[in-house]
Structure 1
Amino acid sequence: MIKGEKFMADKAIERKLTVYLILIILMFIFLVARLFFLQVVQAQEFEMQSRENRIRSLRIPARRGDILDRNGQVLATSKPVFSVSISSSLRGEEQEEVIRRLVEILNDPKITVETVKAKVKEHRPRYEPVEIKRIPWGTEAWEVITRIEERRAELPGVIIEAAPMRYYPNGSLAGHILGFIGQINEQELETYREYNYELNDKIGKTGLEKVFELWKDEPRIIGLRGRKGFRQVEVNVRDQIVRELPGAIAPVPGDSLILTLDIDLQRVLEDAMDEVIADIKEENPKAGAGAAVVLDVRTGAILAMASKPEMNPNDFVDGSYQEKKSYYNDPKLRPAFNRVVQGTYPPGSTFKPITAMAALEAGLDPSFTVNCTGRYWRPPYIKCWKPHGIVNLYQAIAVSCNTYFQEAGYRTGIDKIVQVAQEFGLGSKTGVQGILGEEAGILPSPQWKEEVVARTIQQRFQERRKKLEEVYTQKLMQATTYEERDRILEEQEQRMRQLNLEYQIQLNWEKKWHPYDTFNTAIGQGANSYTVIQLANYVATLANGGNRWRPYLVHQIVSPEGKVIKTFEPELLGQVSVSPETMAHVRRGMRAVTEPGGTAYFLFKDFPPELAVAAKTGTAQTGRSGDDPKKDFHGLFIAFAPADAPEIAFAGIIEYGGNGSSSAGKVARAVFAEYFGLQLEENVMTSDVVSE
């Protein structure tokens, strides 16, 4: 019995051992099969993956296209710089020591061990070097490179590469037009996602650099941005570059822009503005800003355009911005603000040619006269700057008589004045090509006043109602009896009725267009507010006989091979309905401005007759809070030349310039002299300057 049980137990153990043996054999067969599959069947695929894990594609930055003036002079280009970078794969003490040595060699107070370590830590992707500093080509660059190479053994992972850096050879000249580039931000990265931008890319931030970063010319995309190249490198397990591999793809430079701008004329314009502003600033410390633009009246091409204070695009790409941060962030100076298209100003007497055309179109004869005694005879009896006696249309334009133009506005009516102003583009954007942020300005009209004033008064009284409710809520909380509470509620209701009555009276009066609104509008005061580019385009339209062109800056886009791939032709926006006879009369009046007795005679009396200038001066109250309405005036000037066969038009403003002829007018003189190649005396006699 015992032997039988022992036999049965041995058999059971034998069966289990057999099962285990079979399982071991099956597992061994599976492992051998898997090993065969991996090492033989998929050997090629894994070899490829291994190779790919060692190979990295590094981008090669592309050179941006150049920006040239109409004569081929370079306004924006790219110059070589040396990029000093460090491998992000360094670790621990080695990284700390290399960074310390590199910071010591660079000797830049803005670059510390802490800032470099932070950069390395945040940098992605890990295999790409981290740029620490860009050094423009020159003595400093060679000295730094020499010091690094002398200590190369102590600086593993430090890389020096040549790269293109944006450069504006003329400094601040045309700075607002050109704009500048900077590192792309997250919002821009999202906006341009489809165009393969990366976090460390540079992108146009303002001006032409931004507008023509990428220009959609269906079905293609052209523009200043180039196409990056790529090179392949092999890295080790620490993501350190071991060697360069063949098969690099060269970068493709961006397309270049040829502008309508004449850089020599631009330089004269800016120098003249700087000189005039400096002179005026000695008398009025508030001065310091201005804007001016010169147009080809036959096409709308912008020949020169400047906004002051100046903005140097180099400051935003070469690291100078930090040193000048307070300058660029000054809320009064606002150097980055393009006053030509973004600033809106009262036009003053430069608006009077509009009133003159409206009056003539309404039936007023040029020989119609007004006796100016120094003040208009209709309330509110707005003054003229001096008694002019009896003046007709031509004389009124020449001496800028407020009395004449108030009466002309009264006889014409606001609707006709608004119609003519609209046809000449005032109160609406010009659509200028190549510039962002253009403002529309304000052309006042009965409809405009009703809408704007009603909204303003409503907001004002809502604030007053809110404050009244707060006062009585506080009183009710402090009431101790029902009788006192009832008295407070009755008082509140009475005060609210009074306030609502006052609101209705004020609303009905202020939203209504009154005769004095027409008088103010007719002489360029009141709510009139336009950009300098609008004033320039309106005078250009008057000069060329009624064709309103779209102002434009870019003439052609050229490929890196020098082939013209896009030409921008002049674009006619519209033609005015004002008769040629009417415009001729007004042009004749503007010609009288620069003749003996005119407000700008002293400026152009030495110009040859065939290059006579037609102009209109302007002196406008600033309308700014805190300014003295009797002392603080902007000086404005509009003009075209030659008077008999116009080629160019000018519009300019010098903030706090006072009289237009002795401020912006001097800038116009310098511009016209340069354009027509006149050699004139540098000092303009001002003894016979007149006011307005």
Structure 2
Amino acid sequence: MKKQKKKKTHVPFRLNVMFFVVFILFSALILRLGVVQIVYGDDFKREIERTEDVTINNPVPRGKMFDTSGKIIVDNIPLNAITYTKYQGTDTKEMLKVAEKLATLIQKDTNKIQERDKKDFWIMKHPNLAKKKITKKEWDKFEAKELTDKEIYKLQLERITPEEINSFSNEELEVLAIFREFNSGYALTPQIVKNEGVTAEEFAAVSENLESLPGVDTTTDWKRTYASDTLISVLGKVTTSDEGLPSEQLDYYLSRDYNRNDRVGKSYIEMQYEDVLSGQKAKVRNKTDKAGNVLSAEVVSEGKRGKDLVLSIDMELQLAVEKIIEENLKSTKGMAGTGFLDRAYVVLMDPNTGEILTMAGKRIVKDPETGKTEMQDDALGTFTTSYNVGSAVKGATVLTGYQTGAISPGTVLHDGPLQIKGTPVKKSWTNMGSVNDLKALERSSNVYMFRTAIAIGKGKYVQNGPLSLDSNAFNTIRDSFSQFGLGVRTGIDLPNETAGFKGQDKRPGFLLDLAIGQYDTYSAMQLAQYVSTIANNGYRIQPHIVKEIREPVLDQTELGPITKAITPNILNRVDMKEDWIKRVQQGFHLVMHGAQGTARGFFAGKPYDPAGKTGTAQAFYDGPDRKKYGKEPPEVMNLSLVGYAPFNSPEIAMSVLVPWAYTPSATDTRTNLNIGQQVMDTYFNLKAARQAAAQQNPDPNQNVTQENQNAAQ
């Protein structure tokens, strides 16, 4: 039998090729792993362990405000506060869990919860039910990318029923209120959860449970407080932690390292001096991993409370002047023809430094529902509102006449009715005959000013004839008036100052009205700057309410060292001879002491020897009830008074403005003179009382204060 031949095993060539390729790929993978592990291993390890430094600015208490005598008028009250800091890796579920825990430890007001908050919270608490709010067709569109996440969520919000919104218990609403505060904050920025009414028990309970409340902390916050209700409008307001940065100035503040929920000044002094009052923020450097978890926190800077402001306001004098205004408004309202009277303003200014000692305004406001009236502070009206002021401006008119050559010191003009064709008769309150410039001021001659204006306008008066004047005379008079601060902003260190309103009609009769203060409008602050310019021999000084900026100190009873003293800022020197100004000063003195002075009955014989000018303007009512009268508002009389004292060495300048004091058919109420006399008396009586007290009880800190002032200068 023939032996059978053994069959050889054969591996196909293609399979060998495949094995070879697999071998090559595995070799490449092993080589690559070796490179990653050996060559780049340390680099990847560092990347995994990489940390980021995030610096957070934490707010500090604002600076305080003091009056000129060192009394605190704006302060900070410390408050117990509970805060929450959201970390970069914190998700919604974690925040909700913490909110639920915190709700068992504190009571949280739920009044701020909005309907949208409730809807968002309902979706969060009921995800499955919220999902069912969307139809299968809509989900199919979502899968096909025909609907976005945002559009789906919007549909869910729209389909939540009122019953579902109102289904929350009081306990759940408290959780929502807390969660709402958590969610309004920004990563690594402390957000105030509660700072009003935090009880000692709540503060202690939260402090004891901080380990189980990640992100929650207990701290001390602050609240702005005011010594009295006076001047609050001028002092300004600060935003709340809920308001945060004003939206219209968001970019500005963010560029200056503010947090979005920081409190900032939003009006007047608080806003104007934000950079000074805000202080130096505490800086904390948080070290975080890639996931946003905080690994450590390092205090870079402890921060420093804002600097303090010492205002030029004399609060004792301010309160006394406000009382005078209130009493005179109330007493005058009982007189005939005073139906439109509802406000009055007083400004007291140092004519040598520009310091505002008092800026007082009061307004009678009627409640539209009850009809009852109340007296409200309107100090802002001293520089934000303007009125026709009448003859108080005649000092500027006379000086403009000197400057243009229309008249000279001693010029005599005839005061009798001017009958101009097409214009109502122009006259003074009485026919005075021939008067010179001094008598014209003393007796308040309108016609003298009319004739001066005609000369400025290069016109010629012909009885019963037309009057043609150069229209440039309006600019001539206004430019001259502006040298004293009339018709221009005074430059006070507060926002929203008005420059007043200029009449647009340039017919000749209105030029004559301009010369006696019955055409353009001016504010009480402008009148104070105007009379100060005359009192100090022609220097227009910028008024200011902040006197000093001081470093903050821990001792509540002391002022810190002066970092800046606000020095007088001369805006311009009037382009007039000093002899001319002296001449007008003499006329102002006669107003209050002359035999025929319009203010003689109120100021003659006063020991402080005042000088000044009265004013009465026939105007149109433009108050809160203006719409009732359509295109024909009733005529009213505005009253004003400017003055300074003592005559030979002025230390105080005053303006009084009483709009819509009475109707033309009624008797002059003299409210401007009553207020002015009482204010001047109060100033000098208070000064005398303080001097007497200082002699009996010398201030041991006086030398120290003087040293601080010298150092600052």
Aligned mates of 1:46, 1:238 — CA distance in 2: 10
TM-superposition CA deviations, 1:307-348 (whole Å, max 9, x none): 44599xxxxxxxxxxxxx999xxxx99978932332221121
User: TM-score when scaled to structure 2?
Assistant: 0.68
**377-386 or 193-202, larger mean C-alpha shift:** 377-386
Aligned to 1:542: 534
**666-675 or 633-642, larger mean C-alpha shift:** 666-675
Aligned mates of 1:577, 1:587 — CA distance in 2: 16
Q: Please say if 1:551 is aligned against 2:610.
A: no
Aligned mates of 2:293, 2:21 — CA distance in 1: 53
1:438 to 468, 482, 497: 497
TM-superposition CA deviations, 1:583-641 (whole Å, max 9, x none): 33322332233336533334335732x43343323344245356787653332221111
Aligned to 1:61: 59
Q: State the one-letter code of the partner of 1:9.
A: V
Checking the alignment, whether the CA contact within 8 Å between 2:349 and 2:528 is kept in structure 1 is yes
Q: Please say if 1:423 is aligned against 2:483.
A: yes
Aligned to 2:653: 649
Aligned mates of 2:575, 2:633 — CA distance in 1: 37
Aligned to 1:689: none
Aligned to 1:683: none
Aligned to 1:503: none
Aligned mates of 2:427, 2:444 — CA distance in 1: 12
Checking the alignment, whether the CA contact within 8 Å between 2:540 and 2:571 is kept in structure 1 is yes
Aligned mates of 2:329, 2:11 — CA distance in 1: 116
Aligned mates of 2:453, 2:646 — CA distance in 1: 29
Aligned to 1:229: 282
Aligned to 1:306: 360
Checking the alignment, whether the CA contact within 8 Å between 1:637 and 1:660 is kept in structure 2 is no
SS of 1:429's equivalent in the other structure is coil
Note closer, same or farther for the CA distance 1:14–1:600 as it changes in structure 2 (3 Å cut): same
Aligned mates of 1:56, 1:419 — CA distance in 2: 57
Note closer, same or farther for the CA distance 1:161–1:600 as it changes in structure 2 (3 Å cut): same
SS of 2:354's equivalent in the other structure is coil
2:193 to 117, 132, 139: 132
2:513 to 493, 506, 520: 520
Aligned to 2:203: 145
Aligned mates of 1:72, 1:310 — CA distance in 2: 31
Note closer, same or farther for the CA distance 1:326–1:204 as it changes in structure 2 (3 Å cut): farther
CA shift, 1:410, in A, is 3.5
TM-superposition CA deviations, 1:667-691 (whole Å, max 9, x none): 43343233323599xxxxxxxxxxx
CA shift, 1:648, in A, is 1.6
Aligned mates of 1:38, 1:551 — CA distance in 2: 70
Q: State the one-letter code of the partner of 1:130.
A: Q
Aligned to 2:387: 345
Checking the alignment, whether the CA contact within 8 Å between 1:600 and 1:661 is kept in structure 2 is no
2:265 to 190, 204, 212: 204
SS of 2:685's equivalent in the other structure is coil
Aligned to 1:677: 685
Q: State the one-letter code of the partner of 1:301.
A: E
Q: State the one-letter code of the partner of 2:64.
A: D
Q: State the one-letter code of the partner of 1:425.
A: G
2:636 to 626, 632, 638: 632
CA shift, 1:645, in A, is 2.1
Q: State the one-letter code of the partner of 1:638.
A: V
Checking the alignment, whether the CA contact within 8 Å between 1:292 and 1:305 is kept in structure 2 is yes
1:665 to 665, 673, 692: 673
CA shift, 1:294, in A, is 1.8
TM-superposition CA deviations, 1:111-145 (whole Å, max 9, x none): 664554444334322x4443233327xxx654653
Note closer, same or farther for the CA distance 1:310–1:203 as it changes in structure 2 (3 Å cut): farther
Note closer, same or farther for the CA distance 1:75–1:390 as it changes in structure 2 (3 Å cut): same
**106-115 or 268-277, larger mean C-alpha shift:** 106-115
SS of 1:676's equivalent in the other structure is helix
Aligned mates of 1:233, 1:162 — CA distance in 2: 21
Aligned to 1:405: 449
Checking the alignment, whether the CA contact within 8 Å between 1:637 and 1:661 is kept in structure 2 is no
Q: State the one-letter code of the partner of 2:510.
A: D
The runs of 5 or more residues in structure 1 that have no matched partner are: 215-222, 312-324, 445-451, 454-510, 681-692
Aligned to 2:183: 121
Note closer, same or farther for the CA distance 1:109–1:14 as it changes in structure 2 (3 Å cut): closer
Aligned to 1:47: 49
Aligned to 1:475: none
Checking the alignment, whether the CA contact within 8 Å between 2:661 and 2:669 is kept in structure 1 is no
TM-superposition CA deviations, 1:24-82 (whole Å, max 9, x none): 35434543553556765654553343xx5xx8655431232333333333333333223
Q: Please say if 1:575 is aligned against 2:573.
A: yes
Aligned to 1:617: 615
1:259 to 311, 317, 336: 311
Q: State the one-letter code of the partner of 1:256.
A: D
Q: State the one-letter code of the partner of 1:196.
A: D
User: TM-score when scaled to structure 1?
Assistant: 0.70
Checking the alignment, whether the CA contact within 8 Å between 2:207 and 2:217 is kept in structure 1 is no
Aligned to 2:227: 169
Checking the alignment, whether the CA contact within 8 Å between 1:268 and 1:670 is kept in structure 2 is no
Coordinate RMSD, CA, aligned: 4.3
How many residues are paired up? 573
Aligned to 1:601: 600
Note closer, same or farther for the CA distance 1:84–1:589 as it changes in structure 2 (3 Å cut): same
CA shift, 1:377, in A, is 4.2
Checking the alignment, whether the CA contact within 8 Å between 2:307 and 2:551 is kept in structure 1 is yes
Note closer, same or farther for the CA distance 1:345–1:656 as it changes in structure 2 (3 Å cut): same
More helix by share: 1
SS of 1:534's equivalent in the other structure is helix
1:295 to 334, 349, 358: 349
Checking the alignment, whether the CA contact within 8 Å between 2:388 and 2:617 is kept in structure 1 is no
SS of 2:564's equivalent in the other structure is strand
